[in-house]
Amino acid sequence: MANPKIPEFKADWKEGEEGRWGMAIDMDLCTGCQACVAACSMENNVPFVGEEMSGYGRQMAWLRVERLWEGEYPEVKMTPFQPVMCQQCGSAPCEPVCPVFATVHSQVEQLNLQVYNRCVGTRYCANNCPYVVRVFNWADYDRPEPLPNQFNPDVTVRRRGVMEKCTFCIQRIHKAEDQAKSEGREVVDGEVAPACAQACPADAIVFGRMDDPESRVSKLSKDGRAVHLLEELGTNPRVAYLKGGSNGNLG
């Protein structure tokens, strides 16, 4: 450890190469039931901030279901529900701006990590995130008994003053990888799913290996209906949104 390597901001990503883990969300299937939001909060020990804080825009959920509409009332046309979480950009704008390397790209998982105990809370990453998916712990939120009993022991409980965001349930990825490694094989498609994908009753959220061309998520991401959010910014998001079935035809 004499010469610690300065972490890289981007994994060694090459043009045309997909990341290791990815997600595809079928907006034509999404019913907007918010089960993914609830499951995510349970899995990741996300605090509940109360009505007042939430009303002022301090809700902590790592995942939100966007619902917009077009036109003026009463000629309103609803757009499909759109669950938005961290897009795990291959070229993430949040990474270079952190002064203390609290948000870095992992070489192994090719995910965008948030290192809670390194964060000093400048919140620059959140400003620079075009998807506005990062949330900040404005306070230490109350968890009255018996709520602490349902903490997930695999996930850190964050204190006030640090940023956090969706991790693609990296604890589940690690568990599956450990299991696969002990059995001397690769993780197979469908073996690991983050809480949101697991909870989705419509199976609208699909998660899996992007580097496996045969996986479900790879095929869906290459589907003609697939788009990426704010693709023009060149952030290489790892979440594909599928749209076009009943709402016109993009594909």
Partner 1 sequence: MAISANALPHAHADEHDHEAYLRKEHLMLDPKPRGEMNALVMESMTTTSWKFWVIAAVMAAIVAIGLFGAWGYMIANGLYLTGKNRPGYWSLFLVHTVFWIGISHAGTFVSALLRVFKAEFRRPFTRAAELMTTFALAQAGIQIFAHMGRVWLAYWMFPIPNQRLLWTNFHSPLMWDFLAINTYLLSSTMYLFLPLIPDLAMARDRSTGWRKSLYRILAMGFRGTEAEWTHLRIALNIFAFAILPVMFSVHTIVSWDFAAAMRPGWSSTIFGPYFVVGALQSGVSAVAMVVITIRYTMKNMDYFIRKEHFDALGKLMLIISMSWAYFFFNDYMVQWYGGDKWTDALLHFHEAGPAGWIWFMMLITNIAIPWLVLWNKNWRRNPVMLFTVGLLANVGMWAERFIIVPVSLEINRMPFMWGQTFKPGIEVPMFIGTVAFFILLYMLASRLIPLVPVWEVQEGQMAHSIRKYGKEPVVSVADLE
Footprint on residues 159-188 left by partner 1 (CB under 8 A) = 160-163
Residue entry with tokens 């620059």: 124
Contact 142, 115 (CB under 8 A): no
Nearest-angstrom CA–CA distance, 44 and 178: 20
Show the binding pattern over residues 98-137: x = contacts partner 1 (CB under 8 A), - = does not. Answer: xxxx----------------xxxxxxx-xxx-xxx--xxx
Residue with Cβ nearer partner 1 (91 or 198): 91
Instruction: Identify residues 192-251 at the interface with partner 1 (CB under 8 A).
Output: 230, 233
The single residue among 56, 108, 181, 249 that binds partner 1, judged by CB under 8 A, is: 56
Nearest distance, CB of residue 23 and partner 1, angstroms: 17
Should residue 38 be labelled a site residue for partner 1 when binding is judged by CB under 8 A?
Answer: no
- Minimum distance of partner 1 from residue 218's CB (angstroms): 26
Which structure tokens are listed for 245? 């079935």
Cis check for the bond before 201: say yes or no (omega within 30 of 0). Answer: no
- Angstrom distance (rounded) from CA 46 to CA 96: 26
Integer CA distances (angstroms), 131 to 84, 99, 135, 170, 235, in order: 8, 21, 12, 20, 10
Please say which residue, 93 or 245, places its beta carbon nearer to partner 1.
Answer: 93
Contact 87, 131 (CB under 8 A): yes
Residues found near partner 1 in the complex (CB under 8 A):
1, 4, 6, 9, 53, 56-59, 64, 66-68, 84, 93, 96-101, 118-124, 126-128, 130-132, 135-140, 160-163, 230, 233
